[in-house]
A = this chain, B = another copy of it.
Amino acid sequence: MRIGMVGYKFMGKAHSHAYHTAPYFFDINKPVELVAVCGRDQAAVTAFAKKHGWQSIETDWRRLVERSDIDAVDIGTPNDSHYPIAVAAAKAGKHILLEKPMAMSLAEAKEMYKAAEAAGIKHQIGFNYRRVPAIALARKIIENGDIGDIVHWRAVYNQDWIVDPDFPLIWRLDKTIAGTGAIGDLGAHIVDLAHFLVGPIDEVTAMTKTFIKERPLPSEGGGLSATGSAQKGEVTVDDCFAMLARFANGATGTFEATRLATGRLNYNSWEVNGTKGSIAFNLERMNELEIYLKDDPVNHAGWRTINVTNGEHPYVAAWWPPGHILGWEESHIHQVADFLMAIQNDTLCNPDFSVGVRNQAVLEALAQSAKSGGWVKVPA
């Protein structure tokens, strides 16, 4: 399984590490080769390749996706290039692991899915949080009926890294590259978790806001540690959104994401209430799952904090004894392991591009509602 990767910043580093590590912990028997990594800055990508063990580099993704010594393409670039790279990779017959958000529009996403299906490749979308053991366990608990019928979902994904008005205008704040702000960056994740844990969303109403309308242009690079220059530019994406939703199964939902919630670092937090119980989660304590079961006797009834590090919990058998917690990166290791095993064993990827399409449809309805001010049906 020979991998080519496009993008070598935050996600590139996480994915690289995952390709290195997955085979040591999971049942991947075919050898995994890190054949080539691609980026536009030759010096930077060369240094990255050396540090992270990639055998070669490319500076044009068009060359990478055409290389015959590559079986699968991992796409972790800024959002505007997801569509062309994924379509080209599919056409070249490469399997694809694609970072979220899937695309710049629902139309793009649908075409990507169609191209992937037409090519008969494995296609997976990078909703890595499904692979956090606690979240995978939540899914099992819900499927098992332990919390009954779902009544409410509420999720926030809050961070604070742009609360300072001097934080520069990196690509994630530029609509032409990122498409959206908190919507695609954070909202895509919590919408996916709602899909994973509750089911399809029927309709939404939403608001967005951009508090800081101008920021210093970045003096260099554009990564999360970029510094600002004297010149300013317009912020063209949302700083935050909030959304109400109605699920197909009758549950109600609330969603919020912001990057100006001072003190919240990576606070992907949700709660689901059912007729027989409830579950709550917070990514900053990602090894813990909170669960309440309504039928507990009154002298034992309370929210339980499950330390999700038991070998019988999802993904955990590969790791350490109980109580030895996992880190954020393990969600990526699990994601890559599942992707590689799907290729190795010729099984379907999950979540695949169809899941990405449904996700994009909700994000599009969200953005449309924020403009129109009314409820918007999620397009089929």
Contact = CB atoms under 8 A, between A and B. Distances in A.
A109 interface: no
Q: How many copies does the complex hold?
A: 4
A164 B320 CA distance: 20
A40 interface: no
Contacts of A114: none
Nearest to A296: B304
Interface of A: 10, 14, 16-17, 20-21, 24-25, 51-53, 137, 140-141, 144, 146-147, 151-152, 154, 156, 158-161, 163, 205-207, 209, 211, 224-225, 240, 242-244, 246, 250, 252, 254, 256, 258, 260-267, 271, 273-278, 283-294, 296, 298-307, 309-313, 319-330, 373-375
Contacts of A151: 163, 211, 258, 260-262
A252 B240 CA distance: 9
Contact of A321 (B10, B17, B261): B10
Contacts of A158: 273
A16 B24 contact: yes
Nearest to A24: B52
Contacts of A137: 299
A84 to B, nearest CB: 27
A314 to B, nearest CB: 10
A207 B260 contact: no
Contacts of A302: 288-291, 304-307
A161 B323 CA distance: 11
A140 B321 CA distance: 30
B323 A325 contact: no
A373 B205 contact: yes
Contact of A21 (B20, B140, B274, B330): B20
A317 B177 CA distance: 27
Given A24-B53, A242-B254, A161 B300 contact: no
17 contacts: A10-B320, A14-B320, A24-B53, A151-B163, A205-B373, A260-B273, A260-B275, A262-B273, A263-B277, A264-B323, A284-B325, A286-B325, A288-B302, A298-B313, A301-B306, A302-B307, A304-B305
Contact of A252 (B209, B264, B289, B321): B209
A271 B373 CA distance: 25
B265 A323 contact: yes
Contact of A262 (B156, B244, B285, B294): B294
